Amino acid sequence: MSREGDGTTDGNEKYGRKPFKRSKSHFADRITADGADGWPVEAGRYRLVISRACPWASRAAISRRLLGLEDALSLAVTDPLQDARSWRFTLDPGGKDPVLGIRYLHEAYDAREKDYPGGVSVPAVVDVPSGRLVTNDFQQMTLDLATEWSGLHRPGAPDLYPEALREEMHEVMEGVYRDLNNGVYRAGFATGQKEYEAAYSDVFRRLGLLSERLADRRYLVGESITEADIRLFTTLVRFDAVYHGHFKCNRHKLVEDPVLWAYARDLYQTPGFGDTVDFDHIKRHYYEVHTGVNPTGIVPCGPDLSAWTSPHHREQLGGRPFGDGTPPGPVPAGEEVPAGHRP
């Protein structure tokens, strides 16, 4: 078995002859203001490792940008193509992460737990001084960035996890996760017709409910962008590029739903969202790594991405993208998505 979890997107996925089931994050330590788990928030101590191909990792990349944590939490971007030794740092000079000094993410996992038998997943936060993995808990990670790391947020950072809205947010996010974020994977990695059809039905039922919800409101919960929007966006931005064809979620495309297509474009054009998206990495990873789904490894030329920057008119619904805050600044030097990888 390969270290990255049979070549799937984030190492928390398994597919084969058994029905698809996402495993729980094995390393669920938290980095908190009080350091209760032994990992205190500290500027410059930790490194966030992502793949721009992975929707779960993209959540962390967006949150980090919106909150202005770039100087406090450094970023490592892996190659979109894994090999049997896990996510690799072949995009960096010499094929080695310049801060951690490792060639493969599994080295940080091994430093934490030698011969750990599970998948090597992103996003992952690594303790730079020790080289040890701290957490790969993608569900909790962004919530902690929004709350526990608040002392290091930029001036004007938005409140992505408003306390008064949390109950409603979790209700919305749970449905989105079950039926859509994870539902596309259940459809794509299904090993039987009934299993596939059930997942397919969940995906489009949830898309229909979301379209109704967003028809007269700009954002999912409240009047501003929250964690709920981030979690929905990372699936929507991949829908036509990979999920529609590669995962057989083909009842209709995102561009054929006027509400969701406008909503997705609105977020894409918001600083902190689209500037983290790398369509080249997304397509190459899914189509080249998932050989069980796409044995030829051929990467489709389409879809046309130019419309992502077209007017969306969602501002007519009101709302304030950053609430009482302000947009994030420019993408830091060295973190830009390469030219030609986005519209």
Tokens of 166: 């949390």
Helix 227-238 with 55-67: angle, nearest 10 deg: 130
From the list 185, 196, 263, 268, the catalytic residue is: 185
| DSSP H/E element including 208 | helix 193-213
DSSP 8-state code for residue 121: -
What does each C-alpha distance from 149 to 24, 42, 324 come to in angstroms? 24, 9, 19
The helix/strand/coil state of 291 is coil
**What's phi and psi for 252, nearest 5 deg?**
-160, 165
Q: Tell me how crowded residue 27 is: count the other CB atoms within 10 A of its CB.
A: 18
Whether 121 contacts 136, CB under 8 Å? yes
- Distance in angstroms (rounded) separating the CA atoms of residues 86 and 89: 10
The residue written with tokens 């561009």 in the block is: 255
Q: Is 249 a catalytic residue?
A: no
Residue type, 293: V
Helix 138-147 with 227-238: angle, nearest 10 deg: 140
From the list 54, 219, 286, 287, the catalytic residue is: 54
- Distance in angstroms (rounded) separating the CA atoms of residues 41 and 61: 18
Residue type, 187: A
Distance between first and last Cα of the chain: 37
- Distance in angstroms (rounded) separating the CA atoms of residues 261 and 72: 34
294's CB contacts (< 8 A; 6+ apart) are 246, 286, 287, 288
**What's phi and psi for 77, nearest 5 deg?**
-115, 125
Q: Is 301 a catalytic residue?
A: no
Q: Which residues are catalytic?
A: 54, 185
